Structure 1
């Protein structure tokens, strides 16, 4: 069958690449991307450099690889990434990813973070619940309106909201560089970061949810690039990959600065309970009362861009696989469900999202790597099945260990934790899935490459007989 040709055969202009990259940046960079790096800086102290390297692996390199995975496999969404394992697995994986970064955890967090950090400090404590209710209603109402027409997403996020966010963010950076609170190299590190700063930074990168989001945003990015006339799959993939490199490079730079700023705050403040408090401290130090207003604006703008991407990706993917329900109906469901979850509050959302992230991230990482390198083994389902199969048990154990004490410290949870610590290597570092996944890869690739040889041997033997 003849491959679809580009509606626009000419190379894209630099301006087009900038808009796509800006859109992808805006979709990626949301609530967790601001608060978790700053908190990491406070936790790591003088060990911030090594912790930053670990954080960049899961918060920058992995999301970039997720975009490349979409490009290499010419996928249009997270469903296609899991398709080599069969339609049932692909659908289940898609639903779990979208539920996690969508109405259960990720999307509600885009409203609760700007409210808790930027707006709530300006309200009397008695108005906190009512304030969150009103703020989240307006927030998800705006997300719905911006996403209502799919063609508006690239224009609104890439050309308007994202540049405004960057302008506000870099004003804070300028103040931090010209008048630093203290020397990052002289700050004390917390106990966990004194000996395993890289791995703790690596695990902190899970909280951004960007590797999961990168898979889910695939359909949104592919659609946007098609609107520029790049309808040929290979051309679309190249544009998507280039935009991904530009966007994630910019995000990586911002992470480094945020982690460094977080470390410098230790000369004035103690380690905060979470990154939202740390960011509040940082802005208040430099801008005083005005800082709260700036902070509320900054967080709301960046979180709104991410919310738009999340609700649109959810609606696009679910409409594609459940077409009897329209894109706009799925969009409305997503916004209403996220509004409901958001009103449980930020602390509850973060507490219960960690176990799901510990379960899903190992699967996401191995599927992303398998997709990127899939041309080497022709996307052989056997390779996929062995790697994912060997990853399942440690992922389940990590999930149980990350649950709140009511589960993790129960007799059942403690028994599984003891088994995990004594049987699986690197369990104490949260990396116990690595060795089983590697064994699955060796077995799968060995089978793939030896299968033709074994087939020829069988054929020769049967001929001799």
Structure 2
């Protein structure tokens, strides 16, 4: 059936749009540092890097709109500011990081070229892809993702059955917390609200007017993508843990290079280079395309606005992409601590049924999340004035000070909504 084919292509495309630089280099290193507690780390990582992002696609399937719809129940101005911040973060951090990873792992080991040259060629190709907007889902789903999955599954399978020294005990105090926070660095929750918009617009370009059909394609496509991410992340974390006792403090990229060589020999490094380049390229294409789609929609569907934004996004990528992976990861921490809690809360609220998410509920929960995420954000920029307050906030030691207060605010908001609804008929009768 056509629907089955469309679901498969969409699912593969969503997977490839999610699976970028951080998704590849972070999991093996988590397993390496986690040792025999790799499974607990995997649970945390999967929560923030699989469950939340896939719920974001589910939310898009229900909303059938753009990212502006995610925050419109709070206030239209809030929604616009939120979208601008998310796209600014996406186009200045995870997008350029893909170019840095590509240079360090796919280009520098084989060619004597500067990172600036790599970034320029890399984003030049992205420019071509993004300007051919209507074909993106088909190209990613039919051709690039199957190759990505084949290489990854081969590396994981061979490494899983090879003999390795017994893993040493992890020195990580809170493995689940570590997994959750490292999952932030994949940018996948932010990716969900960007990628979901790309998927919706791509389906609209195929002239699918039936909302039910688009919802089915997105939901099942998200399930396929989520299953692939779950399999690959768990596998990469596991094989990283297998080398916990056999390597001496490698970097993230060094560990990944070592794993590919151990499993596939000298050919492995070549395949890894292709894998890294493809994974990074698909994510960066989705980010630039999603940002340009947003600006185009904001300016009344202007094709010129789309083209200018694509060019600007690629130029930003060239400039920042030459600075190096470690630097980009370092400057990303404050941005993530500021925007990520709001992104997660909006994803969860929009994924819930309409009757449980009124405007009042949205506003109370979002304001609470903003307030209780301030201590973590300030700490990330070395301002510790509010640190004593964290002793009184549940889960603050896990770096998620906002979580339980937001849950509590949601429950209180629901109760207020219920009592208000019950009071209105009584006032009408009187």
Q: Contact between 1:108 and 1:339, CA under 8 Å: does it hold in 2? A: yes
Distance apart, 1:381 and its partner CA: 1.1
- Name 1:243's counterpart in structure 2: 221
Q: Does 1:281 align with 2:258?
A: yes
Does the aligned pair in 1 maintain the 2:152–2:232 contact within 8 Å? no
Do 1:366 and 1:388's aligned partners in 2 also have CA atoms closer than 8 Å? yes
Contact 1:360 1:395 in 2 (8 A): no
Gap regions ≥5 residues in structure 2: none
**Alignment match, 2:9:** 19
Deviations 1:118-167 (A, max 9, x none): 333446xxx6xx52111111111111111212112012211122222222
Q: Which residue of 2 aligns with 1:105?
A: 93
Using the TM superposition, give the Cα deviation of residue 74 of structure 1 relative to its aligned residue in structure 2, in angstroms: 2.3
- Tell me if structure 2 keeps the 8 A contact 1:187–1:264: no
CA distance in 2, matches of 1:447, 1:148: 48
Alignment RMSD, CA only?
1.8
- The answer for the alignment partner of 2:385 in structure 1 is 415
Q: Which runs of 5+ in 1 are unaligned?
A: 1-10
- Structure 2 residue aligned with 1:115: 103
Which residue is equivalent to 2:280?
303
Matched, 1:43 2:33: yes
- CA shift, 1:414, in A, is 2.1
Aligned with residue 127 of structure 2, among 144, 151, 157: 144
Verify the 8 A CA contact 1:54 1:199 in the aligned structure 2. yes
8 Å CA contact retained: 2:7, 2:218: no
Q: Secondary structure at the match of 1:394?
A: helix
Q: How many residues align?
A: 428
CA contact (8 A) 2:3 2:217 kept: no
4+ long deviations beyond 6 Å: none
Verify the 8 A CA contact 1:43 1:271 in the aligned structure 2.
Answer: no
* Contact 2:95 2:317 survives alignment (8 Å): yes
CA contact (8 A) 2:153 2:232 kept: no
- Between the aligned partners of 2:419 and 2:408, the Cα distance in structure 1 is 16
Cα distance between partner residues in 1 of 2:186 and 2:17: 12
Higher mean C-alpha displacement, 449-458 vs 328-337: 449-458
Give TM-score, length-normalised by structure 2: 0.94
1:8 alignment counterpart? none
2:79 to 90, 94, 97: 90
Deviation at 1:289, TM superposition (A): 4.3
How far off its partner does 1:218 sit?
Answer: 1.9
Deviations 1:318-362 (A, max 9, x none): 111024542111111111111111122211110010111122121
Hey, what's the Cα distance between the residues in 2 that align with 1:317 and 1:265?
A: 43
What is the distance in 2 between the residues matched to 1:369 and 1:53? Answer: 19
Which structure is larger by alpha-carbon Rg, 1 or 2? 1
- Match for residue 395 of structure 2? 426
The answer to which of 316-325 and 114-123 deviates more is 114-123
1:246-282 CA-partner distances (Å, limit 9, x unpaired) = 1111110011100001101123213434x22221221
TM-score (norm 1): 0.88
The 8 Å contact of residues 389 and 440 in structure 1, kept in 2 or not, is answered as no
- Partner residue in 2 for 1:73: 63
